[in-house]
Structures are given as C-alpha cells and as structure tokens.
Amino acid sequence: MSVFTGAVHICCLDESISTRGDPAAWGKAVALTLLEIAAGSGCSFALVHFASRGQFITNLFRPGEYTMRDKLSAAETFLNGYTDFETPMSEALRLMREESFENADIVFITDGECELSQEYLEDLSQEQSDHGFKVTGILLDKDEPGMDFSLKQFCQDIYRTSQLLGDDIVRELVSKRV
C-alpha cells in the first residue's frame, strides 16, 4: 500500500528522553507530514506516541473527524521516559484488529535504542506474514550516524536522518510501499 492509495496508516513515534531536542523535532515533522499526506488522500491515520513500557498515547485521525486543534495537540505531545518498542508495536497491532486499521502499514520513528525479545520478534513476524503489513523504520540518528541495530530486527526498510533530510525521507516513503 503506498502512502497515497492505502486506506489507513499507523505511525509510531518515539518520544523517550533520548529523542529530546532535534530528534524529537525531526520525528514530529515526519509524522505530521505523513498525516497531511493521509488527509489529502482521504485516508485514516493513527499516531502512536510512545516512551516507556506501557506509556503511550494514540491519536486517531479519521477523514472529516478531527480539527486543527487535534493536530496541534498531537504535535505538542512529548512523553519523556525510556524507550520500549513492544508497547507501540502492540498498540499498532491492536489498531489493526480493533480500529479498522487492518490494511495499515507502519512507519516506526525512533532513535533506535531498544531491543525486542526473540519471542516477540517471532510473534511480530508471524503477524506480518498473516496480515501482509510492512514496517518502515525512520532512524533519528543525525547526531550518531550508523545506529540501526534495533530496527533491523523488524523493519523491512530503514531511512536515516543522518543521510536524508525529512523531506527526502517523506519523498522516499511516498515513492515506495510504506
């Protein structure tokens, strides 16, 4: 499903303390640009802000059902805490099962500082196989180029802010399956 033709999209945005500053700004810029693209295409969009285990906020943006204030509220969110990947991935899977996001692909924006257990990775791989979704990682590594160890475990494509500007990343996402 491309960003322009798919019915729904899920973006998981790392808002842990390690992303504070420029990485948080980059992540929000990419996430909100993806929201604008989804809105322009009449698509639903979910933004899952995450930090520590169990700490997340999900903003649902359904065509015609949200305001500029809703977008500003999402842009102003910052959770702090540590980084946990299982919480946002589990929330994304819940959205697919329970909130009509069953055809969604996931964009996962993080600084890459977390590990998933082998058991969780196997379950996630099975979910991907069963439901045909793709996970695209955007690594906020501008200050530490080269990190990607955590994302390689579950992302089919990885883009790095150290190599591309935010606009370039979005262009790449638009031209490929997200």
Give which of 133, 138, 136 is closest to 105, Cα–Cα: 133
Residue 38 lies in a domain: yes
CA distance 20 to 76: 13
- Higher per-residue confidence, 168 vs 56: 56
Residue 168 clears pLDDT 60, i.e. is over it: no
Mean of all residue pLDDT scores within the chain: 85
Residue 36 lies in a domain: yes
Residue 128 lies in a domain: yes
CA distance 69 to 72: 5
Residue 3 lies in a domain: no
- What is the span of the domain harbouring residue 99? 8-164
Q: What percent of the chain stands above pLDDT 90?
A: 54
Whole-angstrom CA distances from 6 to 1, 90, 127, 147 are: 5, 21, 19, 30
Residue 151 clears pLDDT 70, i.e. is over it: yes
Residue 118 lies in a domain: yes
The model's pLDDT over 81-109, given as tens digits with 9 standing for 90+, comes to: 899 999 999 999 999 999 989 889 999 99
Q: Give, to the nearest 10 degrees, the angle between helix 86-98 and helix 118-131.
A: 30
- Residue 167: per-residue pLDDT: 55
Question: Residues for the chain: how many in total?
Answer: 178
CATH of the domain at 131: 3.40.50.410
Residue 91 lies in a domain: yes
Residue 171 lies in a domain: no
- Count up the domains in the chain and report the number: 1
The model's pLDDT over 124-146, given as tens digits with 9 standing for 90+, comes to: 999 998 888 999 998 887 656 55
Query: Do 66 and 38 form a contact (C-beta atoms < 8 A)?
Result: no
Residue 169 lies in a domain: no
Split at pLDDT 50, 70, 90, the class of 112 is confident
